[in-house]
Structure 1
């Protein structure tokens, strides 16, 4: 099952699968299980108390001796303190979102941490490379949670052409076919979130998991576009009401704000009617519950059966891109 790409070598993992940092969901139980299975588990730190973050990192390290990552939401008012704590804890990898990690890059580098920002455009990816990022996660709009505008099919090759550091594809990937497609587009790893919502080690309520398993391809909705913070989630009474209220933000802003408070926690606890069930479009490709190790093994087996992870072809493609980048720079 194991394989080597620049992503696996960089992150010290066995397979090129990174678990998505799902806020309030990606805890030690899930991250530890994914890392133990050979991928990279990520603990989501956005909005979390420092004591919880330290506890979860410790718990994950009790589950596995393999690399563990953490995600920092840079728009979090507490981001600075989180950044310093993760440096002290010396997590192996930090992924970032919702802002620039420039203020913390040297801090993390000095602690020996690999830094992998999540980006939604080739311009932002190039900027992260200039800042010293070790790799980038290029996330298409098919993803769950906070999203950009570009679709994965267009975004991944554009980012691969724009940077020389490894690219990890995200958005809409939930099976081996998706991994194969991502590698065909130039990525050397994938980030997967929604597929891991239903694994045994994910601690969300069974009702939430059941909604993901039953979801069809048209069962996600994007809220928050009017406020500039679009979020993809499953359709339910809550998300439909939110979209209706967004038609007149000036009149309904206060009601919307009150609605959103605690909405993700409600969903996690099992209130699937009145909570935000974050999930990507790939929920339609999730059919069952399994252990994380089974999911990782099956993802890799399917991708490899499709012949997608041909390292010779991957190296040749990287060389071609570098030649093209060099020619473009010389003009």
Structure 2
């Protein structure tokens, strides 16, 4: 299927596997790339040295294009950009809008820049700054999310910018791909659907919790880091929502310290990142501390396999997923479904 996205990044199918922290590692990214999608490494939970190793591991597993997801507000973003430029990565994606300077630096090195946004005005801003494409995530998507549905947000952005738009939030099959294309998107991005594949390294016990989820089991809470965060409702989420402020902050401080040791991040860097996170978001320092706590709560589930001790970011589509195909089988299914839907729309009895 030929779209502006496939032509821009050189993949066979107009599908993006999103850069999920602790989840989108070399195995999943290379499997997605080999299946014809654009695999994106989640680098926010990696040190710059580990990122370089991960890029080389992906390269050893696939000759297909792939990308790296970066935190635009991280104090070491320039170092990470240097790594992906030196390693010849095709695409840089961002969970937050990057600055004009970061976009210019990447484009000068021939890297395709694809920020993720949750509002039309943010899409207009990064498009004006030179972004090559934009991923638009509606409120159905997992992780930090907004309150505007994809079906409302997507046409707004498509009508507002000239660059290719990739739709995210609520996609898991070929029907959704065709629907996104009908709205004017150049493709779709999926996180939860790729998390729930046999190529994902997420532990089986955690995958089982996702597969058992109903629509009512996927919730949005501010209890984890003070910002709207879509995830599976678990006993831990209930406990966080009912825990007093002092105990919550003490727990967050312990987890932030553990993440600092694990990631090799010094306290000065952690504080600089905290200030960057706080800037423009009207967050309290308590909320910044809770945000620093989040990576360890995600790691407890996604790496260590303890769904009762961690949080599980999830799109609402988890309630519609009931199997764990390989990335190759998943992409074959999605593209086959899309072909059948398109055929049915143009066939007359």
Q: Same fold (TM over 0.5)?
A: yes
The corresponding residue for 1:103 is 101
Give the conservation status (yes or no) of the 8 Å contact 2:116–2:134.
Answer: yes
Pairwise CA distance, 1:252: 4.2
Pairwise CA distance, 1:78: 2.4
What TM-score results when the alignment is normalised by the length of structure 1? 0.87
User: Given the alignment of the two structures, is residue 73 of structure 1 paired with residue 71 of structure 2, yes or no?
Assistant: yes
The corresponding residue for 2:158 is 160
Once residues 344 and 189 of structure 2 are traced to their aligned partners in structure 1, the CA distance between those partners, rounded to angstroms, is: 16
Deviations along 1:228-287, one digit per CA (max 9) or x if unpaired, are 532211111111222234xx6578444455464521111012101111111110101111
User: Given the alignment of the two structures, is residue 271 of structure 1 paired with residue 269 of structure 2, yes or no?
Assistant: no
The corresponding residue for 2:132 is 134
Once residues 7 and 179 of structure 1 are traced to their aligned partners in structure 2, the CA distance between those partners, rounded to angstroms, is: 13
Pairwise CA distance, 1:163: 0.3
Once residues 148 and 80 of structure 1 are traced to their aligned partners in structure 2, the CA distance between those partners, rounded to angstroms, is: 28
Give the conservation status (yes or no) of the 8 Å contact 1:180–1:309.
Answer: no
Give the conservation status (yes or no) of the 8 Å contact 2:136–2:168.
Answer: yes
Q: Secondary structure at the match of 1:116?
A: strand
The corresponding residue for 2:260 is none
Once residues 308 and 85 of structure 1 are traced to their aligned partners in structure 2, the CA distance between those partners, rounded to angstroms, is: 44
Once residues 135 and 62 of structure 1 are traced to their aligned partners in structure 2, the CA distance between those partners, rounded to angstroms, is: 27
Q: Secondary structure at the match of 2:242?
A: helix
Once residues 281 and 40 of structure 1 are traced to their aligned partners in structure 2, the CA distance between those partners, rounded to angstroms, is: 22
Once residues 249 and 179 of structure 2 are traced to their aligned partners in structure 1, the CA distance between those partners, rounded to angstroms, is: 40
Deviations along 1:55-97, one digit per CA (max 9) or x if unpaired, are 1111111111010111001233322221221122120011111
Once residues 227 and 253 of structure 2 are traced to their aligned partners in structure 1, the CA distance between those partners, rounded to angstroms, is: 13
User: In structure 2, which of residues 326, 332, 335 is the aligned counterpart of residue 291 of structure 1?
Assistant: 326
The corresponding residue for 2:284 is none
The corresponding residue for 1:58 is 56
Q: Secondary structure at the match of 1:103?
A: helix
RMSD: 2.1
Give the conservation status (yes or no) of the 8 Å contact 1:47–1:78.
Answer: no
Once residues 230 and 56 of structure 2 are traced to their aligned partners in structure 1, the CA distance between those partners, rounded to angstroms, is: 31
The corresponding residue for 2:269 is none
Once residues 118 and 105 of structure 1 are traced to their aligned partners in structure 2, the CA distance between those partners, rounded to angstroms, is: 13
The corresponding residue for 1:301 is 336
Deviations along 1:212-232, one digit per CA (max 9) or x if unpaired, are 111111111222279553221
Once residues 226 and 276 of structure 1 are traced to their aligned partners in structure 2, the CA distance between those partners, rounded to angstroms, is: 8
Q: Secondary structure at the match of 1:105?
A: helix
Count of residues in correspondence between the two structures = 307
The corresponding residue for 1:33 is 31
Give the conservation status (yes or no) of the 8 Å contact 1:226–1:249.
Answer: no
Q: What are the equivalent positions in structure 2 for 1:96-245 lying under 5 Å apart?
A: 96-224=94-222, 228-245=226-243
Structure 1 segments, 4+ long, off by >6 Å, are none
Q: Secondary structure at the match of 2:2?
A: coil
Change (3 A) 1:98 1:228: farther
What TM-score results when the alignment is normalised by the length of structure 2? 0.83
Structure 1 stretches of 5 or more lacking a match?
311-331
Give the conservation status (yes or no) of the 8 Å contact 1:217–1:284.
Answer: yes
